[in-house]
């Protein structure tokens, strides 16, 4: 019998999208699947939907747990997985026909430990980006690591090659049997440390430039990017990337260190914007629970403290130029002005 694929799907309050997600998996031509639905304390009908699928298809395994976040849910799935291959899927997305059959065939033919496809990427205006050349590449784990760390946030290297997310990939399950897990305290960019660890253990990574994964735009997901826990998590991940960048060869270190701090200030800008919204809501007598001006001000103070620790590292000054250091100075001393400039820059870059 061919390799069994364990698909881990964290589920939280996604009843609008969940059936389409699960159906896209169960309809795959490749049938030797184990579908692990981790109901992470849902308060809508998601848990009942999961149980209904388990009753009609014995490949579906449902685990109910108290809400712990996406990282905790994925770890629960990893602990339960019995397959030879691991795949992750977000409960509000879906996959296209042929994903597992095609990627698994290519893994087996090439001897790769990880296979990657491209993504149908839905934007806020409903337009879907589609990267499809049909090109297949075999990349060493080291080259994939460098691609990931040096091109965080760069369109050419981040969105259209390897990408840091776990959900457009198949992994040899052996990569996770030595203890690779998600940081349960991190639920934003939590994929990065996991992929850094997995890539470092993989000799060969296969990249197939055909989209099989549909990433669905959701306004509530975008809103969650400004949640206090998300911003704290992202800052934690940025520090992790910085420390990893310091270990890279000199020729790659500059780009990697710069990318780690760019990742940091992307979320710092989000915190400035979130603070402005929280102040406006407070004045209007509204607001979102847990998103107070005082809370965001504390987060920003903590992030500036973390940034001071980063820039006190000798490698920061050694491997960044004066223009970049000037940008970081603005983050620390004129955060509101910096945020406005950065948001304008990002909107122009999307054009």
Domains along the chain with CATH numbers: 5-219 (3.90.550.10), 225-349 (no CATH)
Spatial contact of 129 and 218, defined as CB atoms under 8 Å apart: no
Q: Give the per-residue pLDDT at 334.
A: 83
pLDDT score of 129? 67
Helix (H, G, I), strand (E, B) or coil at 284: coil
Ordered DSSP codes for 3-43:
PPEEEEEEESS-TTTHHHHHHHHHT-S---EEEEEEEES-S
What's the pLDDT at 240?
82
| CB-based contact 293:275 (threshold 8 Å) | yes
Q: What is the largest CA-CA distance in the chain?
A: 63
Other Cβ atoms less than 10 A from the Cβ of 109: the count is: 10
Q: CA 343 to CA 311: how far, in whole Å?
A: 23
Q: pLDDT (tens digit, 0 to 9) for every residue of the chain, 351 residues total?
A: 579 999 999 999 999 999 999 999 999 999 999 999 999 999 999 999 999 999 999 999 999 999 999 999 999 999 999 999 999 999 999 999 999 999 999 999 999 999 999 888 766 556 666 767 888 999 998 888 888 877 664 444 434 457 678 999 999 999 998 889 998 877 666 788 899 889 989 999 999 989 999 988 655 554 456 677 777 777 788 888 888 888 888 888 888 888 888 878 777 777 777 777 777 777 766 666 667 888 878 888 888 888 888 889 999 889 888 888 888 888 778 877 877 776 677 667 655
Name the strand (E) or helix (H) holding 62. strand 60-65
Please tell me the predicted confidence (pLDDT) of residue 85: 98
């Amino acid at each position: 019998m061919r390799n069994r694929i364990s698909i881990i799907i964290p589920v939280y309050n996604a009843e609008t999208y969940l059936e389409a997600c699960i159906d896209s998996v169960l309809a795959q031509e490749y049938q030797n699947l184990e579908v692990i639905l981790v109901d992470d304390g849902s308060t809508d009908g998601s848990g009942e939907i999961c149980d209904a699928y388990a009753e009609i298809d014995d490949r579906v395994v449902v685990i109910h747990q108290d809400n712990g976040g996406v990282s905790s849910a994925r770890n629960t799935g990893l602990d339960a997985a019995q397959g030879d291959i691991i795949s992750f899927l977000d409960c509000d997305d879906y996959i296209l026909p042929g994903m597992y059959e095609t990627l698994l065939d290519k893994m087996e033919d090439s001897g790769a430990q990880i296979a990657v496809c491209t993504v149908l990427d839905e934007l806020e205006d409903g337009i879907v980006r589609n990267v499809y050349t049909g090109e297949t590449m075999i990349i060493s784990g080291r080259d994939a690591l460098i691609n990931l760390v040096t091109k965080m946030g760069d369109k050419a290297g981040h969105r259209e090659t390897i990408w840091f997310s776990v959900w457009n990939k198949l992994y040899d399950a052996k990569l996770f049997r030595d203890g690779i897990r998600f940081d349960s305290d991190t639920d934003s960019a939590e994929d990065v440390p996991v992929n850094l660890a997995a890539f470092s253990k993989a000799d060969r990574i296969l990249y197939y430039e055909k989209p099989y994964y549909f990433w669905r735009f959701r306004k509530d997901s975008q809103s969650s990017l400004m949640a206090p826990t998300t911003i704290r998590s992202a800052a934690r991940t940025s520090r992790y990337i910085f420390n990893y960048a310091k270990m890279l060869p000199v020729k790659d270190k500059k780009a990697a260190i710069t990318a780690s701090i760019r990742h940091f200030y992307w979320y710092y800008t989000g915190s400035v914007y979130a603070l402005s919204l929280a102040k406006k809501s407070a004045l209007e007598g509204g607001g979102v629970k847990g998103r107070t001006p005082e809370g965001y001000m504390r987060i920003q103070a903590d992030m500036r403290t973390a940034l001071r620790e980063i820039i006190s590292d000798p490698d920061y000054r050694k491997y960044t130029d004066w223009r970049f250091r000037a940008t970081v100075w603005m983050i620390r001393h004129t955060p509101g002005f910096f945020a406005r400039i950065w948001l304008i820059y990002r909107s122009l870059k999307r054009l």
